[in-house]
Amino acid sequence: MNMIVAVDENWAIGNKGSLLVRIPADHKMFRNETMGKVVVLGRKTLETFPQKQPLEGRTNIILSHNKNYKAGSAIVVASLEELIFKLREYDDKDIYIIGGASVYEMMLPYVDTVHVTKIDHAYEADAFFPNLDKSGEWEITADSDEQVYFDITYRFLKYERKNK
């Protein structure tokens, strides 16, 4: 199973319900990586999307405590147990956890690959991703050249769990 996330130098991912920064190449990489796949996200993350609608071209699975929550064609599950059961219907390599913070934290033990856009800047933030560099469980297996968008520098990194 995969995760995909953009983090700043402090592993921050958001502030006040929004992304820290919008980088077109990061959005393109996200789209290319997840298109035709299964994306798993929390209700709050879905509600930050345009028109609060599921992502097109992907199977969207929304985690919400509200069992009656509806979001277009998305599948809604109400618990971790229900989510894990539902994910058994799909190939592990086609599943991408896409946020937010509580969903990342809950699902990290089930994941073996994390695609990270690492932004070389510290933003004001209130939502964070676990720092994979401080965990002995993860290693960087791919690292892009440094990218630049206006005054923002960033890299695309791939982390894999050491003992899968």
Q: How many domains does the chain have?
A: 1
12-61 residue pLDDT tens: 999 998 999 999 999 999 999 999 999 999 999 999 888 889 999 999 99
The model scores a pTM over 0.85: yes
62-84 residue pLDDT tens: 999 998 999 999 999 999 999 99
pLDDT value of residue 49: 87
CA geometry: angle 121, 33, 13, nearest 5 deg: 30
| CATH code of the domain in which 83 resides | 3.40.430.10
Phi/psi class of residue 46: alpha, beta or left (left: φ > 0; alpha: ψ in -120 to 50)?
Answer: alpha
Range of the domain at 149: 2-161
